[in-house]
Structure 1
Amino acid sequence: MAGQPDLVVSIDFGMTCTGVAYCNVATGSDNVRHIQRWPGRTHANENKVPTLLVYPQGSSTPSSWGFLAETAQETSGAGYESREWFKIMLDEHLLEQMRQKAADPLSVPQIHEVEKWYTDYFQHLYRTIEARLKGELASQWCDAKIEFIFSVPTTWKPIPTVERFRKIISRSGFGSSATHTVSIGLTEAEAAAVYTARSMPGIFKENELLFVCDVGGGTTDLAVFRVKSATGGSLELAQVDVVFGATIGAAQLDSLYENTVLQRLQHADQAQPMGLADLNQTAWEMRISKEYQNAKCDYGSEESIADTATFVVSVPKLDRRYQNPQHGIGNGDMHFQRDDLKGFFDAQISKLFDMLDKQFTRIHQSHPGERIAHLVLSGGLGNSAYVQSCLRNRYSPGSSSHTNAHDIQIRIAPDPQLVVCKGNVADRVQKLKTGQSVLGWRCSRASYGTTCKVLHEPQNPKYYGLKTERDPLDGKMYVTNCVDWFIKQGEPVSSDHPIVRTFNRKCAPANPGAPEPNRVFPTEIVCSDVDRTLLPTVMNSCEYSNPAAVISIVY
């Protein structure tokens, strides 16, 4: 798509909620905005839409999605099935781990079912984006130049998970018009760093190390950056280590709460029948209730500390005359101590501490003598006052056991729940305006190379035992299936300048039978996740014990 786009749109597909940010580039603006009106909430402002689908039983077509699915699920009950928290299931390796750990392996979906949920959700999302943003354009939606940018979790491998995701979003309508393009942008932690740097350039100094921790609904991403330039009111960042991720987030916290509620309901029902048709459904509705969500979001805040020591959550469809003080149920409500939430939070925070500690140690080993100046929190769970308090107690100046964190300043990203989708838009808009990305250098999470052949040297021991063949055009012997690794895992790669390699290919000369011989050839690009020190020099050598993923690309 030649020329500048009219509209840049970024989608942050989350475990619990999904956000959409955009910039109307055609007007000359660099203001990044976000969609706030969603089906089912058209008269209220909501920063994100729930990642939720509802299907009638036996149907492969969803009856509702997002906020409409919450309403439908709460009011319809029997005869409908909800699909949520399926983001992490696109990782087939993780899906298999879930199947092995499940009490009933058949309850864990197959990968084709997960892909179907993704496609259904993104089809609804695409139609909503079009409906909300087409009024921003001077031309018709299908004729406008629109760039769609998607963020992906750090835990996803480029192959096969990210490639599977690419195919899904294409099937869902994104990029379906000739003037629309789709790309995978920054990872969630990278996008969070970009938006924070763009929004708060005055607090960072040149050459400082910046640690970003994006704690979302289902995953947590960590990334470390160096401030390369802090002039002109805008920062330029360079990544100094590969991004790391783990399945830590608000969804796991909610799952712990839901399991606790279900156990209390089951014990109460055994002691005194409650007359509820489906206790699992009841526990789910209590988990998405405003009473619980408000208590969770407020926990640890000044308002929460000043509030009562208890909170109540309505038990859907329970007769208000039902009384069961032993299990804290009465007048249609279940009663909780506010500090009951502490254990749910602490289970996630403990894993977060372990992840952060390992990263601090890793940076100390790779950059001895340097100190990390800032720890920036973003994401839904990163916005929790309790999480922030725990991190400050552990890592604030004078508290941390890590020598490179003694002077660290803990900061909260602006718009922590929207920082990922806004960061991708901000990075792209700056690249369009200046030719340079905010995040100028990124560390590769995998190694990439191209297959080639190398002139055989009989006296070179590294070629002993390797397959050779004679080139019919020059008569010389070559080692075949060699790999030239042009990017190695962990190496910084420029976001603005291409990597250039020169290769020679011998071609048969033209002759009367083939006056115009083919001069276009397929080239294999090899991707590997093995440690950079273990990368093979030859594809068919015994040293290559971990199979590489190969993509054939025709240039």
Structure 2
Amino acid sequence: MTDGWTPDIVVGIDFGMTCTGVAYSYGPNWPPPKPIQHWPGLIGSQIATKVPSHLLYTPNTLKWGFQCEETVSDSLSASNTLSTSTSDTVAAKATDIIKYFKLNLDSDFTDSRPDAPSRDQAMCYFRDYIGCVYRYVVDYFSRSFPRFEGMKVEFVFSVPTTWKDPRMVEGLRKCVEFDRGRDHRAVIGLTEAEAAAVYVSGLHYQKNDVILVCDAGGGTTDVNVLKLASAPGEPTVYDPLGFVEGKPVGSVFIDVSVQQLVCTKLEPIKHSLPASTDEIAWQMMGSRFERFKCAFGMMGEELETLRLGLPASVTESDFPEQGIWNRQLLIPRAEIKEIFDEKVADLTQLLDDQVRNLQLTHPAQKISFLVLSGGFGSCPYLRNCIEERYETPTHLWPEGIKVLTVDEPQLAVVQGQVMNRTQQLRTHATVFNHLYSPVSYGVICDWIYDPRKHSGETTRFDERNMKTYAVNQIDWLVMKGDLVPRTGISKSFPRKISPRDLSQPFVAQIVMSQQPRDHLPRSMTQGDAKLICELEVDTTNVEKKIKNHHWYNRSPVYFLVNVIVKLLIEPAGLQFELWSANGDQIPARSRIARTDGNGAPLASVGVGVGGADSPITIWWESIAEKMQDGSGEERMSPGLRLQRGSNVHSEVGGDHAFEMMGDIGPPQQSPRDAKLRPPSYR
């Protein structure tokens, strides 16, 4: 950390759709990550590499993880006896368990389940669940580490690659609540695919190997193509060959599809069921289906039929049309296979896209290995399908691609997360030389009006230079798929300031879009650009040039300041810095922009500082870097690469085709063929 804070313990948390993994390492030697395997709700010497991402709200307590199934089991036992049970067990049913809510944290995710939680509900579940995990981990360490109370602990969270909106990721980080008085911090580390890649790097691969990493979990599948740039024994360094991509494809969707299939088969006998078909279907599936699913495709373990027992209250012992025989529901393997095949097809489409993209962008590179990780990645049937598809030579992969599965696939992400952080602490080495931007980021600005480009756009007339500007335009700093060096991307923007506003901060607004680069909107009135961040900029101590101050100038006096916007992209983080043309960092506060459901700002873009929540840091590590060389002549950092030179205006002075949003009155739409009228100053 740049503030001198260094953790004594690093804890990785892989919050998953079905289960959550926790691993840790400790200084000063930072040994290999060790997973936590003892959890509340397990009996005696039972261990588990992960804990279920489940919650159960009972009248008296909050249950989590393995405690939920234990409570439901107690409830079922109590309901079949005459003994008096507690209020916890009486209230607990299988459908009361809160699960599968991870993807609902993303406002862009569409959940087809009729009882799907809202995003606000999912945020509450996340806060409560992570709070339970945190308190248990603290208690676990208190019993394991002497003088733990005074130790500094860093909790590193991984996120899916499908979560591309930094507002959401930062909001989740802020949800993590720590005990007061403890020196604990929460940070967002690598994405799940990148963390899995770090874990993969320690498994006997050689320098220059090109690895297609596929982390298939419960809710999402993340893929990434990486070239190993380090030799064995050296700190891990990767050269990404594309941006990380993901899809909501995972084992949970198989569970949901099978549950819906069971509901359909139970429909004719629902009058005999003691509860709704939805609840009974989940109860019937239970651990029996989990074992069937995990063994699906395993040689020698194949079962031609999935047998699920019906509740004792069902009167119909046989219902051949629905596969019910002797109080059992029999589901043929072929029907389960159809569900598996649908999800496998979605996953292979994601892999095919990565292979095609590699051939387009790096035709000389050939994939050495396709490496599977994650819970779904360890599924025998998935592995068989992937091997059959990719190890067989085709026009896309003429030599075939060797398919491998990592050791302990369910722990690859959480252990890779800890390995990445401890490598930084030991060697100060960065795992990724550069990154490819997964989305496009831009700055809202005003462009000199061009009728060919800005027809129908809102305009303003600036009497200080007698020019008309189209307002709320977007200048894209980096486009989706652009290679971004670790030093970032920079661009210079002029800004006019009226004398009365010299001591007042102004607001720079940052937007993002997930559209392909050839479909990016040019203004906030087009496309899907979302306002994600507002930077409150203080230019009090920044050098300014006075304009229109001579006796012969008839236009109002103003000051011109040039602001360099610097964008740094991390695997799961985003940072904007503002610099003056002299190479000094400009003080700025960043805050998450408050928007409507479609990502549009609630306040007028470019007017005042309204429409934003209280200041909030988007990224928590500032980069100390001088933006000039010793002579003071260099406007940009020597290590800073400016992408797409035609889009970079490095001149600082004179007339500009664009500028940061003006500080004059509200913009006015000019009628066609009518004379533009300048608005009055505020």
TM-score normalised according to structure 2 size: 0.67
1:157 maps to which residue?
164
In structure 1, C-alpha distance between the alignment counterparts of 2:512 and 2:49, rounded to whole Å = 37
Query: After alignment, is 1-10 or 413-422 more displaced?
Result: 1-10
In structure 2, stretches of 5+ residues that fail to align are: 77-89, 537-587, 589-682
Q: What is residue 345 of structure 1 aligned with on the other side?
A: 340
Higher Rg of the two aligned structures: 2
- Give the alignment of 1:526-541 within 5 angstroms: 526-535=511-520
Alignment correspondent of 1:111: 119
Q: Does 1:298 align with 2:305?
A: no
* 2:91 is aligned with 1:79: yes
2:4 match: 2
- Matching of residue 363 in structure 1 with residue 378 in structure 2: no
Residue 507 of structure 1 deviates from its aligned partner by 7.7
Conserved? CA contact 1:236–1:439, under 8 Å: yes
CA distance in 2, matches of 1:267, 1:547: 49
Q: Per-residue CA shift, 1:200-227, capped at 9, x if unaligned?
A: 1x32331x32111111111111111122
Tell me by how many angstroms 1:350 deviates. 2.0
2: CA distance, partners of 1:89 / 1:481: 31
Partner of residue 134 from structure 1, selected from 107, 129, 142:
142
For 1:292, give the aligned amino acid: F
Task: Indicate how the Cα distance of structure 1 residues 314 and 494 shifts in structure 2: closer, same or farther if over 3 A, else same.
Answer: farther
Distance in 2 (CA, whole Å) between partners of 1:7 and 1:303 is 44
Residues 374-417 of structure 1, C-alpha deviations (whole Å, 9 max, x = no match): 11101111101111111111110xx2434346331111122210
Alignment of structure 1 residues 301-312 onto 2, 5 Å: 301-305=298-302, 309-310=304-305, 312=307
Alignment RMSD, CA only?
3.6
Q: CA deviation at 1:122?
A: 1.6
Alignment match, 1:221: 222
CA shift digits 1:229-267 (9 cap, x unpaired): 335355311222122211211111112222233334444
**2:407 pairs with one of 414, 417, 421:** 414
Q: Distance in 1 between matches of 2:220 and 2:450?
A: 52
Against the structure 1 CA distance between its residues 405 and 165, is the aligned structure 2 distance closer, same or farther, given a 3 Å change threshold? farther
The match for 1:525 is: 510
Whether the aligned pair in 2 keeps the contact of 1:239 and 1:439 (CA below 8 Å) is: yes
Residue 530 of structure 1 aligns to which amino acid in structure 2? Q
Once residues 259 and 120 of structure 1 are traced to their aligned partners in structure 2, the CA distance between those partners, rounded to angstroms, is 28
Q: Would you say the 8 A contact 2:378–2:405 is kept in 1? A: yes
Measure, in 1, the Cα distance between the counterparts of 2:504 and 2:339: 62
Equivalent residue in structure 2 for 1:282, among 280, 301, 307? 280
Q: Is 1:491 the counterpart of 2:491 in the alignment? A: no
Matching of residues 438-449 of structure 1 within 5 Å: 438-449=431-442
What is the rounded CA distance, in whole Å, between the counterparts of 1:177 and 1:402 in structure 2? 61
Contact 2:104 2:118 in 1 (8 A): no
Counterpart code for 2:318: N
- Secondary structure in 2 matching 1:418: helix
527-536 or 348-357, which deviates more: 527-536
Q: Deviations over 1:258-311 (max 9, x none)?
A: 2233334444566xx4x634443232123232x221221122223415xx6556
The structure that is helix-richer by fraction is 1
1: distance between equivalents of 2:144 and 2:509?
42
Which of 522, 528, 533 is matched with 1:551 structurally?
A: 533
Cα deviation code 1:141-167 (max 9, x no counterpart):
4x4222111111122231443244233
Give the AA of the match of 1:531: P
Asked whether the 8 Å contact 2:219–2:250 carries over to 1, the reply is: yes
Letter in 1 for 2:279: Q
Aligned to 2:190: 186
- For the pair 1:166 / 2:170, whether they are aligned, the reply is no
C-alpha contact 1:320 1:330 (8 A) present in aligned 2 = no
Partner residue, 2:264: 263
The one-letter code matched in structure 1 to 2:373 is S
Question: What SS class does the counterpart of residue 433 from structure 2 fall into?
Answer: strand
Q: Distance in 2 between matches of 1:2 and 1:268?
A: 66
Q: Is the alpha carbon distance of 1:133 and 1:463 closer, same or farther for their aligned partners in structure 2, counting shifts above 3 Å? A: same
Contact 2:243 2:438 in 1 (8 A): yes
* 2:430 partner amino acid: S
1:429-475 CA-partner distances (Å, limit 9, x unpaired): 11121222223322221223445678x7x99987999646366xxx7
- How far does the alpha carbon of each residue in 1:77-106 deviate from its partner, in whole angstroms, 9 at most, with x for none? 5633221111111122324x53xxx6x5xx
User: In structure 2, what is the Cα distance between the partners aligned to 1:257 and 1:448?
Assistant: 41
CA distance in 1: counterparts of 2:504 and 2:121, whole angstroms: 43
Question: Are 2:200 and 1:196 aligned?
Answer: yes
Q: Given the two structures, how large is their TM-score scaled by the length of structure 1?
A: 0.81
Q: How far apart, in 1, do the equivalents of 2:121 and 2:473 lie? A: 39
2:324 pairs with 1:324? no
> Are the aligned partners of 1:322 and 1:330 in contact in 2 as well (CA < 8 Å)?
no
Instruction: State how far apart, in whole Å, the 1-side matches of 2:65 and 2:504 are.
Output: 51
Over 3 Å counting, the alpha-carbon distance change for 1:376 and 1:7 in structure 2 is same
Secondary structure at the aligned position of 1:84 is classed as coil
Aligned positions of 1:45-124 closer than 5 A: 45-56=47-58, 63-76=62-75, 79-80=91-92, 81-95=96-110, 98=112, 107-124=115-132
1-structure distance, mates of 2:233, 2:7 = 25
For residues 450 and 131 of structure 2, what CA distance do their matches in structure 1 show? 60
CA distance in 1, matches of 2:125, 2:206: 42
Specify whether residues 391 and 463 from structure 1 end up closer, same or farther in structure 2 by C-alpha distance, changes over 3 A only: closer
In structure 2, do the counterparts of structure 1 residues 434 and 277 end up closer, same or farther at CA, with 3 Å as the change threshold? same
Q: What count of residue pairs does the alignment treat as equivalent?
A: 514
| Aligned equivalents of 1:322, 1:483: Cα separation in 2 | 66
Structure 1's 189 and 28: CA in aligned 2 closer, same or farther, altered over 3 A? same
Distance change in 2, residues 1:483/1:324 (3 Å): closer
How many angstroms apart in 2 are the aligned matches of 1:534 and 1:298? 45
Q: How far apart, in 1, do the equivalents of 2:24 and 2:468 lie?
A: 52
In the TM superposition, residue 13 of structure 1 has moved relative to its aligned partner by 1.0
Mapped to 2, the partners of 1:42 and 1:127 lie a distance apart of: 20
Aligned counterparts of 1:83 and 1:264: Cα–Cα separation in 2: 25
Instruction: Supply the AA of the counterpart residue of 1:548.
Output: K
The separation in 1 between residues aligned to 2:305 and 2:521, in whole angstroms, is: 61
Measured in 2, the distance between the counterparts of 1:374 and 1:394 equals: 13
- Mark the CA change 1:241 to 1:320 in structure 2 (over 3 Å): closer, same or farther: same
Change (3 A) 1:546 1:434: same
Distance 2:314 2:454 in 1: 81
1:125 corresponds, among 133, 149, 157, to 133
What amino acid sits opposite 1:251 in the alignment? V
Preserved CA contact (<8 Å) 1:52 1:83: yes
Aligned 8 A contact 2:212 2:370 in 1? yes
- Structure 2 distance, partners of 1:363, 1:245, is 16
Q: Distance in 1 between matches of 2:266 and 2:361?
A: 51
Distance 1:500 1:12 in 2: 33
Question: Does the CA-based 8 Å contact 2:318-2:326 persist in structure 1?
Answer: no
Partner AA of 2:173 in structure 1: R
Structure 2 Cα separation of the partners of residues 85 and 528 of structure 1: 27
Query: What's the offset of the Cα at 1:494?
Result: 3.9
Distance 1:493 1:138 in 2: 43
Matches within 5 A, 1:496-507: 497-499=487-489
CA contact (8 A) 1:372 1:405 kept: no
Structure 1 residue 336, shift from structure 2 partner: 5.2
Q: CA deviation at 1:76?
A: 1.9
Rounded Cα–Cα distance in structure 2 between residues aligned with 1:460 and 1:31: 62
